Amino acid sequence: MNLRKAVILISPLIALPLIALFETTAPSTIRFEDIAPRAGVKFTADNSATPTRNQIETMLAGVAVLDYDGDGLLDLYFVNGAAIPSLHKSDTKYYNRLYHNNGNGTFTDVTEHAGAAGSGYGMGVAVGDYDNDGRPDIFLANVGSNQLLHNNGDGTFTDFTAKAGLAGGLLDGKKMWSAAAGWFDYNNDGNLDLFVSNYCTWQVNQDPFCGAAGNRTYCHPRLYGSLHNSLYRNNGDGTFTDVSEETGIAKSFGKGMGVSFADFDGDGFMDVFVANDTTPNFLFHNLGGKAFEEIGLSAGVAYAEDGIPLSGMGSDFRDVNNDGLPDIWHTAVELQTFPLFLNRGRGRFIDATVRSGLGRQSRGMSGWSNGIMDFDNDGWKDLFVARGNVQDNVSATGTDRLCPEPNSVFRNLANGRFEDVSARAGESLQLAALHRGAAFGDLDNDGRIDVVLTVLNGPAKVLRNVSQSSNHWILLRLVGSKSNRMGLGAQIKITTPDGASQYNHATTSVGYAGSSDSRVHFGLGAASRIAEIEIRWPGGIRQIVRDVAADRVVSIEERQTQ
Q: What percent of the chain has pLDDT over 70?
A: 92
CB neighbour list of residue 90: distance below 8 Å, 6 or more residues apart: 119
Average pLDDT, the chain: 92
The yes-or-no verdict on residue 401 having pLDDT over 70 is no
Contacts of 332 (CB under 8 A, 6+ apart): 310, 311, 312, 313, 338, 339, 367
Contact 104/111 with Cβ under 8 angstroms? no
| 38 has pLDDT over 70 | yes
What pLDDT band is residue 545 in, cutting at 50, 70 and 90?
Answer: very high
Phi-psi region at 235: left, alpha or beta (left = phi > 0; alpha = psi -120 to 50) = alpha
Asked if residues 519 and 136 have their Cβ atoms less than 8 Å apart, the reply is no
Nearest to 281, CA basis, from 235, 326, 245, 330: 330
pLDDT band at 212 (very low <50, low <70, confident <90, very high): confident
C-alpha 145 chain-centroid distance: 21
- Indicate the pLDDT class of residue 397, thresholds 50, 70 and 90: low
Is residue 561 a contact partner of residue 457, using CB atoms and an 8 Å limit?
no
Tens-place pLDDT, residues 485-520: 999 999 999 999 999 999 999 999 999 999 999 999
Instruction: Please determine, for residue 2, whether its predicted confidence score (pLDDT) is greater than 70.
Output: no
CB 464 within 8 A of CB 35: yes
Nearest to 122 by CA among 55, 62, 195: 62
Predicted TM-score (pTM) of this structure: 0.93
Over range 370-398, report the average pLDDT. 89
pLDDT of 253 > 70? The answer is yes
CA dihedral 326, 410, 512, 117 (to 10 degrees): -120
Instruction: Report the candidate in 366, 357, 252 with the shortest Cα–Cα distance to residue 313.
Output: 366
**CA 84, CA 202: separation in Å to the nearest integer?**
13
3-state secondary structure of 125: strand
State the chain's maximal CA–CA distance in angstroms. 73
pLDDT band, residue 327 (cuts 50/70/90) = very high
CA torsion sign for 232, 233, 235, 236 is: positive
| Count helices and strands in the chain by DSSP H and E runs | 7, 43
Element (H, E) at 245: helix 244-247
**Cα(6)–Cα(72) distance, rounded to whole angstroms?**
12
Q: Are 488 and 412 in contact (CB under 8 A)?
A: no
Residue 428: in which H helix or E strand, if any?
A: helix 427-430
